[in-house]
Structure formats: structure tokens, C-alpha cells
Amino acid sequence: MVATQDVYDVVRSSPAAVAAHDKAGWIALFDDDYVIEDPVGWQPVRGDDISGFWDAFIAPNDIEFVVHRDWIDGLHVVRDVTVVTTLGTGLQVSTPAHLRYELVERDGALKVQRMAAHWEVLPNVSQLMRPRATHLRSMAAMNASMLRNLGPGGTARFVGAIRSVGKKGKRAVRAYLGTRVDDLDKVIASGNTVTANCTVDGRPAAVIATLDRKTRNVLDCRIYTDLIE
């Protein structure tokens, strides 16, 4: 049986490698058959695309993950975080997010098979959309980095991640949960999912719900209650 601490150590290694700008170390955390959804709703990153993803979004910036809480379920870890990104221009962007890591044991070693980052693109990009020189330079630099490393198609698909189940999806999840949870907050719609913090039996918990994009019906809803303390 895999120890909780071993799972947690792998998950914590990811932001540590990002902070250290250790590209090789970060890539080595992932399984050969990995999937990165960052943000959820954008085209998943697979295969050799991981290098371009790093070069587009991580390499030019200094990124800090402010961790508020972690929950574990077997080989899965859900993190409630705020991602603070300092761009090359010095401008800071703060992004509320929920991160889900799904690990797999491969040849005696734990690897990240899937990493899903739930955050909303529009509030993130809106922090750069101000008529000031620093903001304009930051937006131009970000667009240039994406075009250089992802190409026009990848850049367009990233922008397309603005579309999600939105406010209607959030309302649908609130209605679906009803009285099962208390204090629902930090509700995030990304792609066809809604994530949130809540309270279950007086203890902090996390929700990840998957919805039908057209009907906004809840197809699956998981509540994570096992805190890592």
C-alpha cells in the first residue's frame, strides 16, 4: 500500500520544481502517459507538448503556489491554492485555483498521470487588461510567448478556455448539493467542471463536479473530506 506521505511528497515536488525553474525535474515527475489540463477547458497537454507548455507559461515567469488546504483520496490529491505569478515585467497576477493531481505507481515509483488546474481564464486575463504601459507590455509578452511555443492554433484554443459552464453551472451545482454541504465558497467554473470549497460535518472539504455543457446537468460530483494536516 502506498503511504500518504509518499503521495504528498510527489505532489509538493511539482511547485518546488516550478519555483526553482527546474524544467527537467518537473517533467520527470510525470508518467509517460501523462495529461495536463491547465486550465481545465483548454486542450489537454500530452506527449512532447509538455516542453512547449513549460516554455510558454512557466519559464518566463516566477510562480508561487500559496497552499491553503490539501485533501487526499488514495492516489489523488486536491489542493486549494492561490497561484501568484510574477511576470517578466514585474507585474503580479493572482489566480484562485483548485488543483487535482492523479498519481499512478509505475515500476515502483509514483508518477503524476493527470494534473488538472481549475481556474477561470477571464478574471485572470482581466488583471492585465488595463491602459497602463506595464500591463500592455505584459499582455504583449504573454501573447508572444504563447504564439512562439504553442503556435496560433494552441494560442486560440487557450483563449477559447474562457468558455465554461459559467454561472448557470455554478447554480446547478449549488442546487445539486443542497444541504449535503455548508459554506460553499470559492466556486470556480472551468470547462465542463465546477469546483468549490465547503464544509462537511464542521470540517473543510472540496467539491469537484462534472456537468453536461449543454444542459448544465451534474453528471458526477465528488466531495473530498480527508484533509492532509
Could you tell me if 148 and 174 lie in one domain?
no
Q: pLDDT per residue over 113-127, tens digit each?
A: 999 999 998 888 787
- Mean pLDDT, the chain, as a whole number? 91
Which of 120, 144, 160 terminates a domain? The answer is: 160
User: Cell digits for 191?
Assistant: 470547462
Could you tell me if 120 and 33 lie in one domain?
yes
- Average the pLDDT over 213-224 and give the result: 96
- Average the pLDDT over 130-140 and give the result: 72
CATH of the domain at 179: 3.10.450.630
Could you tell me if 154 and 186 lie in one domain?
no
101 domain-assigned: yes
Could you tell me if 156 and 52 lie in one domain?
yes
Could you tell me if 51 and 146 lie in one domain?
yes
Q: How many other C-beta atoms can be found within 10 angstroms of the C-beta atom of residue 154?
A: 18
CATH of the domain at 106: 3.10.450.50
Number of domains composing the chain? 2
Could you tell me if 87 and 135 lie in one domain?
yes
Cis status, amide bond into 39, omega within 30 of 0: yes
229 domain-assigned: no
Could you tell me if 53 and 93 lie in one domain?
yes
Rounded distance, CA 218 to CA 174, Å? 10
pLDDT for 1 equals 75
Residue 48 has pLDDT above 90, yes or no: no
State how far the alpha carbon of 36 is from the alpha carbons of 49, 111, 115, in Å.
10, 13, 5
Could you tell me if 127 and 217 lie in one domain?
no
pLDDT for 65 equals 97
pLDDT for 131 equals 64
Could you tell me if 174 and 116 lie in one domain?
no
pLDDT for 124 equals 83
Could you tell me if 172 and 144 lie in one domain?
no
pLDDT for 202 equals 95
Could you tell me if 34 and 124 lie in one domain?
yes
Could you tell me if 156 and 173 lie in one domain?
no
203 domain-assigned: yes
Say what percent of the chain tops pLDDT 90: 70
Q: What angle do CA 219, 36, 96 make, to 5 degrees?
A: 75
Rounded distance, CA 186 to CA 34, Å? 28
pLDDT for 107 equals 87
190 domain-assigned: yes
- Average the pLDDT over 90-108 and give the result: 93
- Average the pLDDT over 165-183 and give the result: 96
Full domain range(s) for residue 182: 166-224
